[in-house]
């Protein structure tokens, strides 16, 4: 039975930690010192919308059955945990203390569930049709992942949409779109037992007799998490423009024909890699979800706020697509715009 979960990243990771804590498992969040001190003093607070309710529920970690603490990377011994959840943005793993922790996780051989939009490179090594060496070009530093055994890494599509509410402290997270996490299985039945037990415990949750949104769904197909790729290329990365960032809804709905083309092109890449049609999400379903996505994507917001590095799923899909013989001008344009925007922020930061 899973008892202790280590989550790298206290922002998006706090949503997953809330679900784990509600399922009566213990969690350690890895974050910066100031955030760790805040969480250890006050806990976390997640604003979660329930079906049929006009206002989100405020769920405080201190009122939940599982125990939560927060630590800086150098304070963590990964061998103390049954499962590691990777919930930081890919460039954040370059920090020396986080990199050292990832290496320690690899040495301890603890199974890792990634909530990253950017798949950890060891996961891609589980896909026979992907050339991991070619894929390295999309990573900030591919060597960060060298210690992780691919058989101990799986990927979860982080479909729930979240944001930091304006004016709130770093221990507060709001959920905009309470969809489910969709995880692929590990290579080992032992580790899949851990994953399925956690999914079962989360699924059984009730609050005041009501079903609690945001489940963990476990799928046998390695390609189910790639269902996020068409969404990211159709919406998230097109929020990056030559000027100010635009909302995901605007990026998708301003030209539905083009959006459908991009979505279909990325789906074709996933299918060429070995995925099946039922691994993917229909465009119309995604389109309906964008009605609620009224802010720019986190990638676009980060660049607008001066970030010099972001997750480059756009570049990863471009590289893998070209190896599959599938390209689209709009994908190339998204990559070029993101390249240019990051070049500007690097000049400004110099």
* Per-residue confidence (pLDDT) for residue 69, from 0 to 100: 97
Does the pLDDT value for residue 10 go beyond 60? Answer: yes
Q: Is residue 263 exposed (0-12), middle (13-18) or buried (19+ Cβ within 10 Å)?
A: buried
Mean pLDDT in residue range 226-246: 97
> How many angstroms separate the CA atoms of 344 and 339, rounded?
9
The model's pLDDT over 170-198, given as tens digits with 9 standing for 90+, comes to: 999 999 889 999 999 999 999 999 999 99
* Predicted TM-score (pTM) of this structure: 0.95
Determine which helix (DSSP H) or strand (DSSP E) holds 153, and give its type and residue range.
Answer: strand 153-157
Cα within 13 Å of Cα(220), Cβ side:
3
C-alpha distance from residue 136 to each of 124, 128, 317 (Å): 10, 16, 12
Q: Phi and psi (nearest 5°) for 250?
A: -65, -40
Determine which helix (DSSP H) or strand (DSSP E) holds 81, and give its type and residue range.
Answer: none
> How many angstroms separate the CA atoms of 157 and 181, rounded?
6
The model's pLDDT over 205-219, given as tens digits with 9 standing for 90+, comes to: 988 889 999 999 999
The model's pLDDT over 109-118, given as tens digits with 9 standing for 90+, comes to: 999 999 999 9
What token pair was written down for 233?
């290329």
The DSSP string of 96-120 is HHHHHHHHHHHHHT--EEE--SS--
Angle between helices 256-273 and 313-324 (to 10 degrees): 60
Q: Phi and psi (nearest 5°) for 18?
A: -60, -45
Check if the beta carbon of residue 161 is closer than 8 Å to that of residue 180: no
**Separate counts of helices (H) and strands (E) for the chain:** 13, 14
* Per-residue confidence (pLDDT) for residue 49, from 0 to 100: 95
Does the pLDDT value for residue 1 go beyond 70? Answer: no
Check if the beta carbon of residue 37 is closer than 8 Å to that of residue 14: no
> How many angstroms separate the CA atoms of 236 and 242, rounded?
15
pLDDT band at 121 (very low <50, low <70, confident <90, very high): very high
> How many angstroms separate the CA atoms of 54 and 161, rounded?
18
The model's pLDDT over 33-59, given as tens digits with 9 standing for 90+, comes to: 999 999 999 999 999 999 999 999 999
Better-predicted residue by pLDDT, 349 or 106: 106
pLDDT band at 349 (very low <50, low <70, confident <90, very high): confident
Q: Is residue 12 exposed (0-12), middle (13-18) or buried (19+ Cβ within 10 Å)?
A: buried
> How many angstroms separate the CA atoms of 101 and 80, rounded?
13
Cβ partners under 8 Å of residue 76, min gap 6: 6, 28, 30, 101, 104
Mean residue pLDDT across the chain:
95
The model's pLDDT over 272-295, given as tens digits with 9 standing for 90+, comes to: 999 999 999 999 999 999 998 999
* Per-residue confidence (pLDDT) for residue 2, from 0 to 100: 59
Domain annotation for the chain: domains and CATH numbers: 4-219 (3.40.50.720), 224-349 (1.10.1040)
State percent of the chain over pLDDT 70: 99
Q: Phi and psi (nearest 5°) for 234?
A: -80, -35
C-alpha distance from residue 176 to each of 59, 86, 173 (Å): 15, 21, 10
In a 3-state reduction of DSSP, which class is residue 177? strand
Cβ partners under 8 Å of residue 161, min gap 6: 175, 176, 177, 179, 292, 293
The model's pLDDT over 138-180, given as tens digits with 9 standing for 90+, comes to: 999 999 999 999 999 999 998 888 888 888 999 999 998 899 9
């Amino acid at each position: 039975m899973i008892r202790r979960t280590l989550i790298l990243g206290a922002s998006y990771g706090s949503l997953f930690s809330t679900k784990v804590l509600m399922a009566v498992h213990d969690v350690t969040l890895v974050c910066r010192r100031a955030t760790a001190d805040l969480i250890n003093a006050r806990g976390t607070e997640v604003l979660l919308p329930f079906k049929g309710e006009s206002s989100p529920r405020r769920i405080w970690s201190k009122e939940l059955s599982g125990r939560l603490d927060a630590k800086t990377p150098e304070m963590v011994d990964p061998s103390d945990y049954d499962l590691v959840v990777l919930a930081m943005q890919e460039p954040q793993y370059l920090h020396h203390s986080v990199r050292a922790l990832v290496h320690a996780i690899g040495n301890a051989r603890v199974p890792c569930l990634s909530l990253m939009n950017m798949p950890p490179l060891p996961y891609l090594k589980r896909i026979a049709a992907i050339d991991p060496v070619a894929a390295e070009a999309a990573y900030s530093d591919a060597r960060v992942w060298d210690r992780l055994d691919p058989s101990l890494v799986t990927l979860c599509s982080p479909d729930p949409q979240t944001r930091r509410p304006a004016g709130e402290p770093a221990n507060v997270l709001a959920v905009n779109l309470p969809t489910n996490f969709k995880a692929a299985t590990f290579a080992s039945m032992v580790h899949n037992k851990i994953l399925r037990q956690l999914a079962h415990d989360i699924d059984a949750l009730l609050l005041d007799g009501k079903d609690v949104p945001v489940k963990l769904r476990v799928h046998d197909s390695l390609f189910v998490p790639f269902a996020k790729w068409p969404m990211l290329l159709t919406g998230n990365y097109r929020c990056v423009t030559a000027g100010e960032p635009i909302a995901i809804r605007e990026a998708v709905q301003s030209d539905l024909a083009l959006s459908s083309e991009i979505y279909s092109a990325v789906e074709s890449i996933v299918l060429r890699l070995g995925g099946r049609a039922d691994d993917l999400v229909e465009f119309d379903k995604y389109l309906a979800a964008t009605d609620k996505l009224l802010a720019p994507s986190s990638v676009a917001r980060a660049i607008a706020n001066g970030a010099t590095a972001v997750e480059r799923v756009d570049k990863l899909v471009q590289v893998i697509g070209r190896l599959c013989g599938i390209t689209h001008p709009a994908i190339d344009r998204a990559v070029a715009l993101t390249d240019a925007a990051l070049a500007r922020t690097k000049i400004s930061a110099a």
